[in-house]
A and B are shown apart, each in its own frame.
Chain A
Amino acid sequence: MSTYPLLSLAIWIPIFAGLLVLTTGGDRNAPLARMLALAGAVAGFLVTIPLWTGFDVANGGMQFVELSSWIPRFNINYHLGVDGISMLFVVLNAFVTIIVVAAGWEVIQNKIAQYNAAFLIMSGLMNGIFTSLDGVLFYVFFEASLIPLYLIIGVWGGPNRVYAAFKFFLYTLFGSLLFLLALMYLFIQSGGSFSILDWHKLPIALGAQTWLFLAFLIAFAVKVPMWPVHTWLPDAHVEAPTGGSIVLAAIALKLGAYGFLRFSLPIAPDASHELSSFVIALSLIAIVYIGFVALVQEDMKKLVAYSSIAHMGFVTLGFFMFSAMGIEGALVQMVSHGFVSGAMFFCIGVMYDRVHSRQIADYGGVVNRMPKFAALFMLFSMANAGLPATSGFVGEFMVILGAVKFNFWVAFAAASSMVVGAAYTLWMYKRVIFGDVANHHVDELSDINLREFAILGVLAIATLWMGLYPQPFTEVMHASVNDLLRHVAISKIQ
């Protein structure tokens, strides 16, 4: 085990780098701001690599733990640690931060330092969420991470950004207030502890568990987002700049799903079992209903946003089947979705930067002018449709196979996404990429430059690697997922 406080570094390097970037001031120093931001993102990523390479796969408990007192009066601690469930998200988050900084390189031309700083700070805060083992610390990071994203949408967003930013902020704030109440209740019940791991062991009556579960559910369902509290996401995506969409899809959506595994399942296992069919029903609605809604979208970003919701439906479905296949499949789906939807949003950004439209109808025949781009976009579209050998397949495959064991008709409904998911993705691809050159905007397109090619190339490698050899990803999860399942199987009612 490493002697360096890797988790603290993973949190604070990006945050301090972000603050440093802010000091570069106005847009005169843009090159410096960009270089600093990139350096900070890369440094933040490098410190997370030992988390994976040094991870003990046989240990299902917390690793790289850091514990020191923060507010002794309320027994609040600065308590960090990762297990097989959270570790990959720290690495993914740090990885995506590099992508995001690179994605905004030439595109963002005003308030460059502030833009990059917002992303770096958000990256650190989100690492804080994934690594916090103290309820208050978690809550602070959880709420604080809203602010940079709110600013990113509200400042660098599209014409309707204010509505979208408010909708996003209020929706998620509404969810987290109930979450705060649940934390207070647990603090009192546990006799004055904010340790999440203590709460896991806390016996709670079924009635109280149910209320806790519902409070968590509302908080996390908004984040995931689950049907019917999903409508903020398409608006937020449409208005957000490309980088914002990438972070939103790749990382921010994972926070809610992660919360289910860290809070709902272990703290309220009996209520989780009781209400699992409710959550599964919502998940299936997300997969089927949202799939059809995605089919008829005319705005590419909205389409991919809706497809994100459907993909996250697989995640919540996997969690609440209470099987190793289901949970690991869901976790794989989360990581994969980070690569694939991030790439999809970046691809749309590439076209938007050139044509300044996201409407499918404004495109057609892009392949004639951007063949390299079309090939890469094809790969990610296929991954989005869950084609084997891409990462998009692995999670869906595991969840569907797990679902057959759980209930044939649940699997039936989930597997329908094989058809619908392919339909909306390929139909969009056909209308945008194939065909004759549709108009003079498309005619003037230039193919992707080296920077864009590098970003998409890295994401393509990640997507293919995870599709062809997912074992390194699932290997780290086994012990923790098995511990979780054993824990959830034991009743907490006394």
Chain B
Amino acid sequence: MEMQKLYLLVPMAPLVGAMIAGLFCRVIPRWVAHTATIAGVAIAFVVSVLIFMDVQAGHTFNGTVYTWLTSGDYRFEVGFLIDTLTTTMMLVVTFVSLMVHIYTIGYMQEDPGYNRFFSYISLFTFSMLMLVMSNNFMQLFFGWEAVGLVSYLLIGFWYTRPTAIFANMKAFLVNRVGDFGFILGIGLVLTHFGTLDYATVFAKAPELADTTINLFAGRDWATVSLMTVTCICLFIGAMGKSAQVPLHVWLPDSMEGPTPISALIHAATMVTAGIFMVSRMSPLFELSTAALSFVIVIGAITALFMGFLGIIQNDIKRVVAYSTLSQLGYMTVALGASAYSVAIFHLMTHAFFKALLFLAAGSVIIGMHHDQDIRNMGGLRKYMPITWITSLIGSLALIGTPFLSGFYSKDSIIEAVALSHIPGAGFAYFCVLAGVFVTAFYSFRMYFLVFHGEERFGKADDAHHHEHEGDHDDEEVAHDHHHGLAPGQKPHETPWVVWLPLVLLAIPSVAIGFIAIGPMVFGDYFKGVIFIDHAAHPAMQHLAEHFHGASAMGVHALTTLPFFLALAGVVLSWFFYMKRPDIPAAIQRRFSAIHTLFENKYYFDKFNEAIFAGGARLLGKSLWRGGDVAVIDGLMVNGSAKLVGWISSVTRLFQTGYVYHYAFTMIIGIFVLMTLWINRA
């Protein structure tokens, strides 16, 4: 009984905080806004810890809060499912959110939208918690769209910047494309299972494993497995939210938002919602190898090809953004290999080290007075030691340095893919392996350019001010929000509210993998939560046979290929960017075609812009001008009015007023009638 109130408290506390900060944002002082929201999130975090311990003690929960809607035979409810998967997500979400809240005090210090910002991030925390705590598809969809809304609001937080308000609309619409698939998947679930409640659906799934549906009346070729269609539809939703190719295009642009939300929403939590959702749906996905193949191929493409783009980025946030895309690809690959627990494990470690990297990038941006171009940095380790060390830890965790958290999760993914035999697994194995090298290369390219080498900041060179800094809000001009360092000015370490979260995030980035891999990936932690059909997809079972403890895994890794690939990436980036900067420039000239391809991000944006956006506008224009205005209004409506007018104008000609005209007409008429009458007889 008491626990159920606590469950409710977790999402409600941030919601109350958000409402206080949001509804009264114009009247309350700043300290009220941040105190209220931080208190809300802190309560959520503490209670999540309590619930986590309770669940560890074996008390799971699945129950209804209220009935949202009934219709026909269907019931839609709002309820909670509390199990180990939920509590893992709750802990990650509330902890990272709490860190970001504290960090925001420092980061948004000078911003006029301070209270509004706190309101949004707390609202986000509420939405994300509703998403992960849901026990049914309807509420999942609610959380799904609600986090999308807050993401929209936050990407466009600086609403006077053209790039920001373009990016937020793009993000929302691309996500809607994913949701379009997602809602069809939900519809298929409701149609064939009769309910949207997880437990009932999962219990019934094996019965429907062989069900087929016909997508095109009566044609044999259109008869497909229900599970495959449903899972692919659901996964399209995940592709939107978790930014998988080709629906990834919104995530790099989302960097227009303030850095704290890039860490919270666009790295640690929201973008992993798709990964969480597929893991939650493991009892469905396990029934369709075809869908899993689809998942693994999409993930593999994202993991490798988005990594390549990270290499040529010069905006510090965009490097991290492409790295996020690539890491989301890794998680998706794990899902495809039926290694759901590994995917969630990587989700967790990634949340810590990627939030750390983003917040560190934000710290650098503050230190650089809002210059984000890594070409203008260099040598910052002297001026920002805490940021430097924590960034190094984050980068090492990201590239999979043995014994750090990222190593355990990433190595497990690579091993699981190696052992998977579903179609597409071979390709995926190549991609994730090559991705290790690419990840190490771009991560340390950024690291060296920012923290080591020549100090390139403080030069009076306006050309370095790239497009983001061109436009100012009236209020922002007052306190030079978007300027780089002036000549002679030095970067400085950031205040404690900014660096403290970095330190607190660095701890799990180092240690969580070592601690958690045993129970979480190979133990009983997800027993009864994640379902794997071991007969069809034995990868995880084989993986477990090779596991002999976290220490052994770390030691063993020192002799394996991924370790050398990562090392090669680090060394090469050091050589290229510290030792011989002329080499990358030469390569760029030599392979200008590939560079142009990367520069244009494989032309996805241009394609979408021309075909989808342009096509929709053209279609709309032609339907409007051609259909509505010309045919319906022109021909039919005004046309019939004109026809009436024309007929009356013709008949008016008969009314001449001359008696002899009328007499003549009458005679003709009588004549015609008589002729007809005679012929009839």
Find A474's partner among B69, B190, B213 (CB 8 Å cutoff): B69
Verify if A52 is at the interface (C-beta below 8 Å from B).
Answer: no
Distance, CA A164 to CA B646, complexed state (A)? 22
A488 within 8 A of B: no
Q: What is the bound-complex CA distance between A243 and B172, given in angstroms? A: 32
Contact of B637 among A231, A387, A434 (CB under 8 A): A231
The interface residues of chain A lying within 8 Å CB-to-CB of B637 are 167, 171, 231-232
Q: Taking the complex as formed, is B576 at the interface, i.e. its CB lies under 8 A from any CB of chain A?
A: no
* Chain B binder among A113-121, A154-162, A342-350, A402-410: A402-410
* CB of B145 within 8 Å of the partner chain: yes
Do residues B165 and A469 form an inter-chain contact, with CB atoms below 8 A? no
Q: Any chain A CB within 8 A of the CB of B579?
A: no
Known: A418-B183, A470-B68. A388 touches B146 (CB 8 A): yes
Candidates B162, B176, B179; contact of A435 at CB < 8 Å? B162
For residue B141, which residues in chain A have a CB less than 8 angstroms away from its CB? 388, 397
Residue in A400, A416, A475 whose beta carbon sits within 8 Å of that of B70 in the complex: A475
Q: Are B176 and A228 in contact (CB under 8 A)?
A: no
Residue A419 interfacial (CB < 8 Å) = yes
For window 158-213 of A, CB contacts with B under 8 Å fall at 167, 171
Determine if A328 is an interface residue (Cβ-Cβ < 8 Å). yes
Which residue of A296, A388, A403, A433 contacts B145 across the interface (Cβ within 8 Å)? A388
Contact partners of A324 in chain B: CB under 8 A: 71-73
**Closest chain B residue to A433, Cβ basis:** B159
CA distance A389 to B148 in the complex (A): 13
Tell me the residues in window 438-465 of chain A with beta carbons closer than 8 Å to chain B beta carbons. none
Q: Give A430 to B156 CA distance when docked, in angstroms.
A: 10
The answer to whether A408 and B145 touch across the interface, beta carbons within 8 angstroms, is: no
Task: Answer yes or no: B258 CB below 8 A from chain A CBs.
Answer: no
In the assembled complex, B602 has its CB within 8 A of some CB on chain A: no
B572 within 8 A of A: no
Nearest chain A CB to B499's CB is how many angstroms away?
A: 33
Q: Measured between alpha carbons, how far is A427 from B187 in the docked complex, in Å?
A: 28
Q: Which residues of B from 56 to 73 have beta carbons under 8 Å from A?
A: 66-73
Q: Which of B471-501 contact A (CB under 8 A)?
A: 471, 473-474
B187 touches A403 (CB 8 A): yes
| Inter-chain contact B146/A427, CB cutoff 8 Å | no
Contact residues, B494-534 vs A (CB, 8 A): none
Give the CA-CA distance A408 to B69 in the complex, in Å: 23
Complex Cα distance A435/B628, Å?
32
Q: Tell me whether A471 and B68 are in contact (CB under 8 A).
A: yes
Contact A325 B72 (CB under 8 A): yes
Given A292-B620, A474-B70, residue A427 in contact with residue B215 (CB < 8 A): no
> Bound state CA distance, A434 and B168, in angstroms?
11
B-facing residues in A279-329 (Cβ within 8 Å)? 289, 292-297, 323-325, 328-329
Tell whether A37 is near chain B: CB-to-CB under 8 Å. no
Chain B residues 605-627 with CB under 8 Å of chain A are: 616-617, 619-621, 623-624, 627
Q: Knowing A389-B142, A404-B184, A420-B616 touch, does A434 contact B70 (C-beta < 8 A)?
A: no
Instruction: Verify if B180 is at the interface (C-beta below 8 Å from A).
Output: yes
Q: Is the CB of B172 within 8 A of A293?
A: no
Nearest chain B CB to A225's CB is how many angstroms away? 11
**What is the 8 Å Cβ interface bit string for chain B, positions 457-482, against chain A (1 contact, 0 not)?**
00000000000000101100000000
Count residues on chain B whose CB falls below 8 Å from chain A CBs: 57
- Report if B74 contacts A (CB, 8 A): yes
Is B55 an interface position by the 8 A CB rule?
Answer: no
A411 within 8 A of B: yes
CB distance from A6 to the nearest CB of B (A): 27
- Asked if A478 contacts B190 (CB within 8 A), the reply is no
Q: Which of B162, B191, B473 has the most CB atoms of chain A within a 10 A radius of its CB?
A: B191
Closest chain A CB from B486 CB (angstroms): 26
A408 touches B184 (CB 8 A): yes
* B160 is an interface residue with CB less than 8 A from chain A: yes
Contact A231 B633 (CB under 8 A): yes
What residues of chain A lie closer than 8 Å to B434, measured between beta carbons?
none
Instruction: Evaluate whether A418 and B176 lie within 8 angstroms (CB atoms) in the complex, with A289-B627, A296-B624, A471-B68 already known.
Output: yes
Which residues on the A side are within 8 Å of B616 (C-beta)?
A: 292, 295, 420, 423
Contacts of A408 in B (CB 8 A): 184, 188, 213, 215
Does any Cβ of B come within 8 Å of A7's Cβ? no
Known: A404-B184, A419-B180. A368 touches B142 (CB 8 A): no
A434 / chain B contacts, CB cutoff of 8 Å: 156, 159-160, 165
| Complex contacts, A296 vs chain B, CB 8 Å | 617, 620-621, 624
B64 to chain A: closest CB distance in Å? 12
- Taking the nearest CB of chain A, how far is it from the CB of B445, in angstroms? 35
Is B186 at the interface (CB under 8 A from chain A)?
yes
**With A and B bound together, what is the CA distance between A232 and B215 in angstroms?**
37
Q: Output the least CB separation between A171 and chain B (Å).
A: 8
Q: Which of A409-435 contact B (CB under 8 A)?
A: 409, 411-412, 415-416, 418-420, 422-423, 426-427, 430, 433-435
One digit per residue, 1 when the CB lies within 8 angstroms of any chain B CB and 0 when it does not, for chain A 334-353 equals 00000000000000000000
Interface string of B144-161 (1 = CB under 8 A from A): 111001001100100110
B residues 569-624 in Cβ contact with A at 8 Å: 616-617, 619-621, 623-624
Answer whether residue A149 sits at the interface, using C-beta atoms and an 8 A cutoff.
no
Give chain A nearest CB distance to B75 CB in angstroms: 10
Which residue of A has the minimal Cβ distance to B634? Answer: A231
Q: Is the CB of A400 within 8 A of B68?
A: no
Which residues on A sit within 8 Å (CB–CB) of B187? 400-401, 403-405, 411
A469 CB to closest chain B CB, in angstroms?
A: 7
B 202-217 to A, binary, CB cutoff 8 A, 1 in contact else 0:
0000000000010100
Does B567 count as interface, using CB distance less than 8 angstroms?
A: no
Choose among B138, B149, B632 the residue that contacts A231 (Cβ–Cβ < 8 A).
B632
> Shortest distance in angstroms between B245's beta carbon and chain A's nearest beta carbon?
18
Distance between Cα atoms of A469 and B621 in the complex (Å): 39
**Could you say which of B160, B184, B621 contacts A411, with CB atoms under 8 Å apart?**
B184
The yes or no answer to A436 lying at the interface (CB within 8 A) is yes
Nearest A residue to B160, CB-CB: A436
In angstroms, how far is the closest chain A Cβ from the Cβ of B616?
6
Provide the A455-494 mask, 1 if CB < 8 A to any CB of B, else 0.
Answer: 0000000000000111100110010000000000000000
A418 CA / B473 CA spacing, docked (Å): 32
Binary contact readout B181-200 vs A (1 if CB under 8 angstroms, 0 otherwise) = 00110111011000000000
The answer to the question of A365 belonging to the interface, with a C-beta cut-off of 8 Å to chain B, is yes
CB distance from A180 to the nearest CB of B (A): 20
Nearest CB in chain A to that of B181: its residue: A415
Most buried by A among B66, B71, B179, B624: B71
Distance of A333 Cα from B1 Cα, bound (Å): 37
> For residue B177, which residues in chain A have a CB less than 8 angstroms away from its CB?
419
Q: Which of A232, A418, A436, A478 has the most CB of B within 10 A?
A: A418
Q: A404-B184, A415-B180, A434-B156 are in contact. List 20 more A-B contacts (CB 8 A).
A: A228-B636, A232-B637, A289-B627, A292-B619, A294-B620, A324-B71, A389-B146, A393-B145, A404-B188, A411-B184, A411-B187, A416-B180, A419-B176, A422-B173, A427-B169, A430-B166, A436-B471, A471-B70, A474-B69, A474-B70
Shortest Cβ-Cβ A-B pairs, 5 listed: A404-B187, A324-B72, A296-B620, A292-B620, A434-B165
What are 23 A-B contacts defined by CB distance under 8 Å?
A231-B633, A292-B616, A295-B620, A296-B617, A324-B73, A368-B160, A378-B153, A387-B145, A388-B144, A394-B69, A397-B141, A400-B184, A401-B190, A404-B191, A408-B215, A415-B183, A416-B180, A422-B172, A426-B173, A430-B169, A434-B165, A468-B68, A471-B70
Q: A residues engaging B (CB < 8 A)?
A: 167, 171, 228, 231-232, 289, 292-297, 323-325, 328-329, 365, 367-368, 371, 378, 382, 387-389, 393-394, 397-398, 400-401, 403-405, 408-409, 411-412, 415-416, 418-420, 422-423, 426-427, 430, 433-436, 468-471, 474-475, 478
B residues apposed to A, CB below 8 Å = 26, 66-74, 138, 141-142, 144-146, 149, 152-153, 156, 159-160, 162, 165-166, 169, 172-173, 176-177, 179-180, 183-184, 186-188, 190-191, 213, 215, 471, 473-474, 616-617, 619-621, 623-624, 627-628, 632-633, 636-637
